[in-house]
């Protein structure tokens, strides 16, 4: 498989993150599992700040049901990075996020991934329709015709 790094111009929202000392592994670069925490932090910050998600007392919560990541270049502490975010598919109760990690100011991604949230009722853990404020926030990030990532699926539209 010929994987190509994603470009900054393929993403609609960026969340700055600073790598931390304990993110590095014994090889001197950020460990692969830490990239998932960057993805999770960027998405949840967007959902809280733009979509109004109440992670502590809200009736709806998002469960990650699928995730993947491809790596193109390493990053390490101390480094300023940005997580690019877009939505590849928006369903009734689910959303597929497409994300990429960029070194500050660089145009090619160091890593690109995706994960799927299914939104459920906090009390029953049963899928529910996305609340209107969340849907509106996510709709702003839906892409059509973007450069396909390594794990891309057909886009809306």
Q: Give CA–CA dist 22/24, Å, rounded.
A: 5
Q: Which two tokens stand for residue 128?
A: 């529910």
Domains (range + CATH), the chain: 8-139 (3.10.129.10)
What integer pLDDT is reported at residue 119 of this predicted model? 97
What integer pLDDT is reported at residue 3 of this predicted model? 66
What burial class does residue 82 get, using C-beta atoms within 10 Å of its C-beta: 0-12 exposed, 13-18 middle, 19+ buried?
buried
What integer pLDDT is reported at residue 153 of this predicted model? 33
What integer pLDDT is reported at residue 59 of this predicted model? 95
User: Which residues partner with 71 through β-bridges?
Assistant: 111
All residue ranges of the chain with pLDDT < 50 are: 1-2, 146-157
Q: Strands of the chain (E only): list them.
A: 13-18, 60-71, 80-90, 94-103, 111-121
pLDDT in tens, 92-134: 999 999 999 999 999 999 999 999 999 999 999 999 999 999 9
What integer pLDDT is reported at residue 145 of this predicted model? 56
| Residue 109 · residue 100 · CB < 8 Å | yes
Task: List Cβ neighbours of 22 (8 Å cut-off, separation of 6 or more).
Answer: none
| Residue 107 · residue 8 · CB < 8 Å | yes
């Amino acid at each position: 498989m010929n994987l190509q790094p994603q470009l900054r111009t393929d993403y609609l929202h960026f969340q700055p993150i600073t790598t931390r000392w304990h993110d590095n592994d014994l090889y001197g670069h950020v460990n692969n599992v830490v990239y998932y925490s960057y993805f999770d932090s960027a998405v949840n910050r967007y959902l809280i700040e733009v979509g109004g998600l109440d992670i502590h007392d809200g009736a709806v919560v998002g469960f990650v049901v699928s995730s993947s990541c491809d790596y193109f270049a390493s990053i390490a502490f101390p480094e300023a990075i940005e997580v690019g975010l877009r939505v590849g598919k928006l369903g009734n109760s689910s959303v597929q996020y497409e994300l990429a990690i960029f070194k500050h100011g660089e145009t090619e991604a160091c890593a690109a991934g995706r994960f799927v949230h299914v939104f459920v009722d906090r009390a029953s853990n049963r899928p529910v329709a996305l609340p209107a404020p969340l849907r509106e926030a996510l709709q702003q990030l839906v892409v059509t015709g973007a450069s396909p990532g390594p794990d891309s699926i057909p886009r809306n539209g």
